[in-house]
Amino acid sequence: MSFKDVMGHERPINLLQRAIAQEKVVNSYLFLGNEGIGKTLVAHQFAKALNCLEGENRMDGCDRCLSCKKIDRHLHPDVSLIEPEGQTLKVEQVREMLRGLAYRPYEGRRRVFILAAADRMKTDMSNTLLKTLEEPPLHTVIILLANNPRWILPTILSRCRSIRFNPLPSHLVSDWLIKEKGLEEKEAYLLASLSEGSPGKALEIKEEIAGIPRKELLAGWMGSKSLSIEEKEGWIESLPSQRENLHLILEMAKTLLRDLIVMKTSMEGSRLIHSDLSEEMEEIVGGWDLSSLLKRMEILHHTSRAIRGNANTRLSLEAMMLSWAEG
C-alpha cells in the first residue's frame, strides 16, 4: 500500500507530500493523534516515498521497487520503528536508535526512525533525544509519534514539525472493519461509534465490548426514570473502578442514550447503533421527554470528562448517580 491507499488523513498526507515536492522535508516530525489512528501507517508510507527507487522526490511509494517492498516487510536497514516494550520506551531502545544515527544510510536515500509513544519517555531519555534533535545528522528523518503533547518536553516540541492527525469519521472506521476485518455490520457500527475515530482502538476494544451487558445498562440504568438508593449503590459497585474500563462503559452508556434520543426525535436518516435492542428502546422511550434525555446525556458527558481528567472515580460516579435521580 502507499499514501493513496491510506484511509482518511488527507491533510497530514498532503503536508508530507508537499514537503517532498518542494524539497522541504525536515529532520524531525511529531505526529500527534489518538492511538491506533494510523500515524505509524502514514510514517511508513512517508519513509517509502522518501526512499522509493523509482526516482527522487516522488510523492508516493511505488509499491514495486525493492526499497518499497523491504519497508513494507519491515526489512529495510534504513527504516526503523521503535515501539515501547511494555508501558514505556526503554533507555536502551532509544540509545540503540541514536547509535544508528551516526551512520549514513546503508542503501536508501534517508534513514527514517519512527519512535512510537514519544509521550511515554522518561525525562533523561527526552534529554538524550533532544541533543540529537538539536543537531540532526544529515539524511535522517526522525518521526515521533504521540497521543498527548502535554507529556512531551516543550524543548522537544519546539524542535519538531508537528502534524496533527484528527479522528477518522465513524463511517470510515466501520467500513474498514467490515471490508478489511470481516466484521458484521452491526458489530462494526457499534465498535466504530466507540472508537473515537481510531481503527486500532476499534479492534482493541472488540473483546471488552462483547463483555459489557448492554441490555442491563439500558433497562436498569439508562432507561430508569428514578433509582432507589440501593439501586444507585448497586450500579456504582458494579461499575469497574479502573479508569480505562469505566470510561469505556460510560462511552457505551452514551451510545445507548444517543439511540434513545434518536428514537425520541425520530431523526431522519439516523440509524441506531444498537439496532438489536430497538424493541427494548421503543418500550423505554415512550415514558420520556426529550429534555430529560438530553439532561442525562449532559451528565454522562460531564462524568466521563471528569474521569478522563483524573478525577476520583468513586466520587464522580456518586455525583453522577445523584444527578441521575434528580432527572
Q: How far is the CB of 106 from Zn ion (least distance, A)?
A: 17
Applying CB under 5 A, the site for Zn ion has a residue count of 6
> Which residue, 53 or 203, has its beta carbon nearer to Zn ion?
53
Closest separation between CB of residue 97 and Zn ion, Å?
24
Give ∠ CA 153-154-158 in degrees, rounded to 5: 125
Confirm or reject binding of residue 20 to Zn ion (CB under 5 A): no
Cα–Cα distance for residue pair 163/10, rounded to 1 Å: 12
Distance CA(158)–CA(228), nearest Å, equals: 54
Q: Which is nearer to Zn ion, 33 or 61 (CB)?
A: 61
Task: Judge whether 189 and 174 are in contact, CB under 8 Å.
Answer: yes
Exactly one of 68, 82, 89, 192 binds Zn ion (CB under 5 A); which one?
A: 68
59 vs 203, beta carbon nearer Zn ion: 59
Tell me how far apart the alpha carbons of residues 284 and 261 are, in angstroms, rounded to a whole number.
11
- What is the pattern of x (binds Zn ion, CB under 5 A) and - over residues 47-66? -----x-x------xx--x-
Spatial separation of the C-alpha atoms in residues 314 and 236, rounded to whole Å = 8
| Residue 35 C-beta-side C-alpha neighbours within 13 Å | 12
Give the C-alpha separation, 27 to 132, whole Å.
Answer: 10
Compute CA distances 126 → 19, 129, 158, 196, whole Å: 26, 5, 13, 28
Output 65 or 153, the one with its CB closest to Zn ion: 65
Q: Which CB sits closer to Zn ion, 108 or 223? A: 108
Least separation, in Å, of the C-beta of 61 and Zn ion?
5
Is 130 in contact with 142 (CB distance < 8 Å)? no
DSSP symbol at 205: T
Nearer to Zn ion, 49 or 145 (CB): 49
The phi and psi torsions of 235 (rounded to 5 degrees) equal -65, -45
Which is nearer to Zn ion, 61 or 199 (by Cβ)? 61
CB of 63 to Zn ion, least distance (A): 6
| Shortest spacing between CB 54 and Zn ion, in angstroms | 5
- Residues in contact with Zn ion by CB under 5 A are 52, 54, 61-62, 65, 68
